[in-house]
A and B are shown apart, each in its own frame.
Chain A
């Protein structure tokens, strides 16, 4: 039952853009219980709640490499291109990214303000 302990929540991850919260059980690049996968960024990780396999993990988010905001991996909040960038930063420095990224960002909607404000009013 060594695995059980590793899933203990270390804290609660909260995206600074969309306010999504979830308990994380690991921070780093080497998720527990799996040996052949490495993460290319320092990530907040939880055990995948939708899988019965304890080795399956879910990356919740990481820090933006420009503004160091803690952001979730959701397409409305951040993107990964060799590094993690929050969408506000990407928009600000759009020209630094290849065309594929630029097109992609334009398609994305702005983060849902509604939910984020709702959450804020409660906390």
Chain B
């Protein structure tokens, strides 16, 4: 590369000229803006080291002012010549300048201003001023060089001082000889940042490093890029769910475990990497454990692939032996000695028997520190508590103590805090004051805070545990493991000798389990099993996990996936299942997306699905603040939480597009964590791309703004945004602020405080990133379309939500209407007595869940609970069931009970006249009259068949598309618009039907004696062949007859119903003029084949037309008429017609 040859001809005028400045002090004002602009015009042009208007330019002027002041001070003792200075015999020394001038110490020179173009400049800028300016510039550049070099040198010193630096050669050597190497070292040894760089330096260029957390991917990529001196080059990149900085030049990529698994799914041999670093294996995350299993199988097929497992010094032998006794390079951590003080809590007389944590033992530690250590000796305190409730209990007491002593700033730290509040723990306390950080186990490994000298360990942790029987997540408190206890202790010795107070006895410690329970042993395995199925790794039960999951969890997961229709009875992926496996979301939410796409509700469903996939956006303070609640009320939907979230997101997008700078304030006022809304937007976009990729959503037309002017405008805006982002990144590494002592008095979420913080960085970088990542216009269009959704569309959306959430249903307790708001109780199939989560919209407004009282008077006295007869019973469909101190229903939507159960239930059982129905073996519906019962049942059968076939065709179409891989020409959509419209209309009509009925949860005893059981006399049903099923066979277990795979007729025990099979009553078909005495079963049979009944697909015309015909012919059966002694081939209707002749 030849050095650029430009303007070489220009003389370096002042190159060797002795300095001679400070002439007549005429009127020359350096700080005059015009003067400055003049100089900037002359010196700071495009390719010059400093650009006009840049931050660097501001820094220069600040430097310039300092230099001027310094000069005027030194001006007096200027002209001192060095007296004795003999000429040297060595040539290199001989021509050194005789008189010292600081500018001889500068190794660069700046070319003069370009005055050719500007005569004005030549006139206004006296040459001596120009050279004075140039001199200053020179000093500035020299100063910048020195500063940058000092940073570089410091960086290298720090790297070399890391404990792992001693092991570079050993790690590389071991890796050369072995396929798998375990690098074990505790936090602070530098393994995560250094090992990737060692690999780079050793010449590897296709390195992947997995991290369990997304945040770590970004921060490590930044750190490693910075340390390897290519911060803005592209050798180091990261790839996470929403963003990637990866390019062709990337040599190391940091990515999440989930993402790597997806890459393996696509290319099982991982050809794109030569070295794979799996970091934090000791944390035993579900996907990490699975990845290890996948790798162990892959290694023999890829002998050239190297794997480095990085772990804390926990259970190293487990990993080593799992990979055939892989060699271990163990790096000592850099820890200072830590004194352990055991302070077991005696059973103290607690003030009350409440579950609230007693803060006194913690306060005693604060006191002890105050008494023993002078405030000048710095060092902060980190307290490990089990959960958020415990943190707030101690927070309250500690803040009172702190305001007394003025020696502490108390800060909470847990994952539900806003990012800004989490960041506060990194700020510094004022002199003489210590930070007291109250943290969950997040500070054990995920967050590293410097300056901690004292640790208090409560010995407890709250963890999600999964109960496969109840299918529910439980947040329970456990004793920690010895490994965690050591990890917590270690946090006190990172910057100097420390003290760890353990609030338990040494004997307790000895009784702790050595290691924490791996995730695979305590969480639901649905997602894992689905992923295993889609990666074809074989039977999950025999997969060689590093430690196998509990068999019960696996079985529950497989059953659940079968229940959800993702696996078939032979446990293979169904089309919907393979699609779900590609959506990185909960099965339930994936299902909603697919269902929504059938009804052209994809756009609103995208928003709902995204909203349900992120943490609740409501801040903790939002729950208590009345103002927030009032501000949020207009956005609440009385239909349920998913629709409230839907409204919030849409309103936020509107705010963004109208006055985006205000969105942060808008959120704060409503007690909403804006970060979660950004996550929703990101997730929504990802879902959208997935649906487009899978042909479930027509790809958005690229609507370019019409005229070239607005295009230009848009491009300009984007450029400005990019610049803002770059500037922000330049100024990255947020400066640590000094905490205010009084901070603890006010909740940070109070307006002023936060506003103050927000004002600090005047660029809302989240907003900038948001605008760069999303097409705001498109989002806004979707949001306003959402506001224009018709009642019908909303109802349909709710229906799809309900179907997606099924079977996660809860029934209100019968006595709820007489209870206080806070005492409302709900029952699920597996769990009785659940309550609404406090954030739930129904928690403050449970009346909408009660049946409307006025209707009860209507029903005429038949028998028993007639007062419960009502047409407005509702169920709650919920997203999750979470047990903390109580079992909570999270994210609920209310749905009409009877109609939903008829449409969704996987098992429906009836009595003889169909007036009594049992759904999924736990909910009993008693209808007032059997006529309407049969009508609804018939309608539901037809709608279900129709809906199912539409979905099947949609999925089959999608699968075909996948196969054909972009055949040219657009394939016709699988379901016509008309057909969809007809189906939606009928579904909505069905949902709106009003029939009085009672609803109750069956008792345990009742569920045991629900069915008549197999009948010894299998009397053939009076009519063969229903709904195309070849035979109406007796149900082998329940008794009665299996009508479809979900409907069993007349299998319920009851004294009245035994003979209802043959009870006929006069009936008129609503579609044709048939009027006959028929049993309910016969009515269903007739209606299903009545030629005048609305047929599925008829509205659509085109391709679906043949189906009903086929079905009809399949219904024909040989029929022997007793009356005329003839044999026919008749459909059930034809049989009826024929018989009519003989009446």
**In which size bucket is the chain B interface?**
35 or more
- Identify which of residues 258-285 in chain B touch chain A, using a CB-to-CB cut-off of 8 Å: none
A48 and B148 within 8 A (CB): yes
B336 on the interface (CB 8 Å rule)? no
B106 and A35 within 8 A (CB): no
Mark interface residues in B293-306 (1 if CB within 8 Å of A CB, else 0): 00000000000000
Interface residues in chain B, defined as those with a beta carbon under 8 Å from any beta carbon in chain A: 1, 3-4, 6-7, 12, 43, 45, 47-49, 51, 54, 56, 82, 85-86, 88, 90, 92-93, 95-100, 104-111, 141, 145-146, 148-153, 156-157, 160, 165-166, 168-169, 226, 229-233, 249, 726, 729-730
A37 and B49 within 8 A (CB): yes
A41 and B107 within 8 A (CB): yes
Give 18 A-B pairs besides A5-B1, A29-B3, A53-B51 with Cβ atoms closer than 8 angstroms: A6-B1, A32-B3, A35-B47, A36-B111, A37-B108, A38-B108, A38-B109, A49-B152, A49-B230, A50-B151, A52-B232, A53-B56, A55-B49, A56-B49, A59-B108, A96-B88, A118-B165, A122-B168
B226 and A39 within 8 A (CB): no
B90 and A66 within 8 A (CB): yes
A88 on the interface (CB 8 Å rule)? no
Chain A residues, CB < 8 A from B51 = 53
Interface residues in chain A, defined as those with a beta carbon under 8 Å from any beta carbon in chain B: 4-7, 20-23, 26, 28-30, 32-41, 43, 46-56, 58-60, 62, 65-66, 72-74, 79-84, 93, 95-101, 115, 118-119, 122
> How near does chain B come to A24, taking the closest CB pair, in angstroms?
10
Whether A20 touches B153, Cβ cut-off 8 Å, given contacts A34-B49, A56-B49, is: yes
A72 to B156, CA, bound (A): 13
Chain B residues, CB < 8 A from A83 = 92, 96
B6 and A35 within 8 A (CB): yes
A6 to B4, CA, bound (A): 11
Chain B residues, CB < 8 A from A6 = 1
A93 and B157 within 8 A (CB): no
B153 and A74 within 8 A (CB): yes
Q: 17 A–B contact pairs at CB < 8 A?
A: A6-B1, A20-B156, A23-B229, A34-B47, A35-B4, A36-B43, A37-B111, A38-B111, A40-B109, A50-B151, A52-B726, A73-B145, A93-B88, A93-B93, A96-B90, A97-B96, A122-B169
Chain B residues, CB < 8 A from A40 = 106-109
A4 to B90, CA, bound (A): 43
> How near does chain A come to B41, taking the closest CB pair, in angstroms?
14
B730 and A81 within 8 A (CB): no
> How near does chain B come to A44, taking the closest CB pair, in angstroms?
12
> How near does chain A come to B203, taking the closest CB pair, in angstroms?
12
Q: Which residue of B lies closest to A32 (CB)?
A: B4
Total A-B residue contacts, Cβ distance less than 8 Å: 153
A81 to B100, CA, bound (A): 9
Q: Which residue of B lies closest to A93 (CB)?
A: B93
Whether A33 touches B151, Cβ cut-off 8 Å, given contacts A52-B729, A81-B104, is: no
Chain B residues, CB < 8 A from A20 = 152-153, 156
Whether A81 touches B96, Cβ cut-off 8 Å, given contacts A22-B229, A30-B4, A36-B49, is: yes
Whether A115 touches B151, Cβ cut-off 8 Å, given contacts A32-B4, A99-B100, is: no
> How near does chain A come to B118, taking the closest CB pair, in angstroms?
16
Whether A38 touches B229, Cβ cut-off 8 Å, given contacts A33-B47, A81-B105, is: no
Query: Which of A4, A54, A58 has a CB less than 8 Å from the CB of B152?
Result: A58
Query: Which of A4, A37, A59, A119 has a CB less than 8 Å from the CB of B109?
Result: A37
A101 to B105, CA, bound (A): 9
> How near does chain B come to A90, taking the closest CB pair, in angstroms?
10
Chain A residues, CB < 8 A from B108 = 37-40, 59
Chain A residues, CB < 8 A from B56 = 53
Query: Which of B54, B85, B107, B729 has a CB less than 8 Å from the CB of A84?
Result: B107
What 8 A-B pairs have minimum CB-CB distances, sorted nearest first?
A: A98-B100, A49-B229, A96-B93, A30-B3, A36-B111, A80-B107, A35-B47, A98-B82
> How near does chain B come to A89, taking the closest CB pair, in angstroms?
9
Q: Which residue of A lies closest to B249 (CB)?
A: A4
Query: Which of B82, B86, B105, B109 has a CB less than 8 Å from the CB of A79?
Result: B105
B92 and A65 within 8 A (CB): yes
Whether A58 touches B145, Cβ cut-off 8 Å, given contacts A22-B152, A49-B230, A79-B105, is: yes
> How near does chain A come to B27, taking the closest CB pair, in angstroms?
29
B92 and A28 within 8 A (CB): no
B3 and A82 within 8 A (CB): no
Q: Which residue of A lies closest to B726 (CB)?
A: A52
B49 and A80 within 8 A (CB): no
A43 to B726, CA, bound (A): 29
Query: Which of B12, B107, B157 has a CB less than 8 Å from the CB of A43?
Result: B107
A115 to B157, CA, bound (A): 7
A43 to B525, CA, bound (A): 60
Q: Which residue of A lies closest to B12 (CB)?
A: A38
A36 and B48 within 8 A (CB): yes
A50 and B231 within 8 A (CB): yes
A34 and B48 within 8 A (CB): yes
A50 to B55, CA, bound (A): 14
Chain B residues, CB < 8 A from A95 = 86
Whether A59 touches B100, Cβ cut-off 8 Å, given contacts A38-B108, A93-B88, is: no
Chain B residues, CB < 8 A from A96 = 88, 90, 93, 96
A28 to B1, CA, bound (A): 11
Chain B residues, CB < 8 A from A4 = 249
Chain B residues, CB < 8 A from A53 = 51, 54, 56
A30 to B229, CA, bound (A): 21
> How near does chain A come to B681, taking the closest CB pair, in angstroms?
26
> How near does chain A come to B433, taking the closest CB pair, in angstroms?
33
A119 to B149, CA, bound (A): 19
Chain A residues, CB < 8 A from B226 = 49
Query: Which of A35, A48, A56, A118 has a CB less than 8 Å from the CB of B7?
Result: A35
A58 to B152, CA, bound (A): 10
Q: Which residue of A lies closest to B227 (CB)?
A: A49
Query: Which of A32, A35, A115 has a CB less than 8 Å from the CB of B160?
Result: A115
Chain B residues, CB < 8 A from A54 = 232
Chain A residues, CB < 8 A from B99 = 98
Whether A37 touches B152, Cβ cut-off 8 Å, given contacts A66-B92, A115-B157, is: no
A72 to B98, CA, bound (A): 25
Q: Which residue of A lies closest to B51 (CB)?
A: A53
A58 and B111 within 8 A (CB): no
Query: Which of B47, B90, B150, B151 has a CB less than 8 Å from the CB of A93?
Result: B90
> How near does chain A come to B865, taking the closest CB pair, in angstroms?
74
Chain A residues, CB < 8 A from B49 = 34, 36-37, 55-56
A118 to B47, CA, bound (A): 41
A59 and B145 within 8 A (CB): yes
Chain B residues, CB < 8 A from A39 = 107-109
A32 to B150, CA, bound (A): 22
B160 and A98 within 8 A (CB): no
A7 to B151, CA, bound (A): 20
A84 to B104, CA, bound (A): 11
Chain A residues, CB < 8 A from B153 = 20, 72, 74
Q: Which residue of B lies closest to A33 (CB)?
A: B47
Chain B residues, CB < 8 A from A26 = 1, 3
> How near does chain A come to B117, taking the closest CB pair, in angstroms?
15
Q: Which residue of B lies closest to A28 (CB)?
A: B3
Q: Which residue of A lies closest to B5 (CB)?
A: A30
A23 to B93, CA, bound (A): 31
Q: Which residue of A lies closest to B153 (CB)?
A: A74
> How near does chain B come to A39, taking the closest CB pair, in angstroms?
5
B229 and A37 within 8 A (CB): no
A36 to B145, CA, bound (A): 16
Whether A98 touches B85, Cβ cut-off 8 Å, given contacts A7-B233, A122-B168, is: yes
B107 and A118 within 8 A (CB): no
A36 and B110 within 8 A (CB): yes
A43 to B111, CA, bound (A): 18
A65 to B45, CA, bound (A): 34
> How near does chain B come to A70, taking the closest CB pair, in angstroms?
15
Chain A residues, CB < 8 A from B86 = 95
Chain A residues, CB < 8 A from B146 = 73
> How near does chain A come to B46, taking the closest CB pair, in angstroms?
9
